[in-house]
Copies of this chain bind each other. A is one copy, B any other.
Amino acid sequence: MTTRVPQERRRRRPTRSGVLLSEDLIVQTALRLIGEHGPEALSVRRLGAALGCDPTALYRYFHDTDDLVLAIADRIIGDAMAGFTPGDDWAASLREVALRVRAGYLAHPRAAAMAAHRVTRRPNEIRAVETGIGLLLTAGFPPADAARLYLAFIDTVLSHAATEAAFLALPAQQREADHRSWRDVYQDLDPATYPSLTLVRRELPAMADSSFEPAVDLLLEALAARARALKGT
């Protein structure tokens, strides 16, 4: 019943409202829905309504909701890395990879939050690994270090991006509560029991900001330092 059928041989029968469904249109509409009405807008029923078809029609194209999410995630990955070519500066290039991955996830947080921890060994990812390790090799790291350090770098990037995506994927209410807590809860603490927090009190609202770029920059600094140390010896 729910076996996905090759796109090519579809009997494109229009829905009651005249729309011609397709895997592509569904993914596209799902992304639009998330973008316009927030992450929690993605449900089979709402997606059906947005498409102008019965909600259950989607099960002709995807086994279940999870299958749909994976299809969306696959498109996100492809879009994020589209057109990237590494430049001369290996650190700057790694930085761009990081920002691209993150931007791709944040553009569609809910889909990313659901799929980020799953490993899809697809061509796009393999190409990305090739690129990343290549950059560390040009930095002068021996193969063993290049592989291990790339892993540490990309895992950090992916983990951060997934965390930020998961945060954006929260219902607006919880998201704002999390944000506010740095302004509210952490402001009225007893100075005796929390001396350090009291000292940095004025900086705490900034804790709601993203730490993605600071963290990436710290990593790149450490990598650059180690690369310099290699050259020195």
Q: Which residues of A contact B (CB under 8 A)?
A: 66, 113, 116-119, 121, 126, 129-131, 133-134, 137, 143-144, 146-149, 151-153, 155-156, 158-160, 162-163, 166-167, 170, 174, 178, 181-182, 185-186, 189, 193-197, 199-200, 202-204, 206-207, 209, 211, 214-215, 218-219, 221-223, 225-226
Contacts and interface: CB of A to CB of B under 8 A. Distances in A.
Given A126-B185, A130-B193, 19 more contacts: A119-B182, A121-B181, A121-B186, A129-B197, A133-B196, A134-B195, A137-B196, A147-B207, A148-B211, A148-B214, A151-B209, A152-B211, A152-B214, A155-B160, A155-B163, A155-B211, A155-B215, A162-B163, A219-B222
A155 B197 CA distance: 17
A133 to B, nearest CB: 5
B189 A126 contact: yes
B117 A163 contact: yes
A130 B197 contact: yes
Please state the number of chain copies in the assembly.
2
A221 B211 contact: no
B174 A211 contact: no
10 smallest CB-CB distances across A and B, nearest first, come from A159-B159, A134-B196, A117-B166, A147-B203, A152-B214, A218-B222, A143-B200, A222-B222, A152-B215, A152-B211
B130 A211 contact: no
Given A130-B196, A196-B134, A219-B215, A117 B167 contact: yes
Contact of A162 (B129, B151, B159, B222): B159
B200 A133 contact: yes
Nearest to A198: B130
A151 B66 contact: no
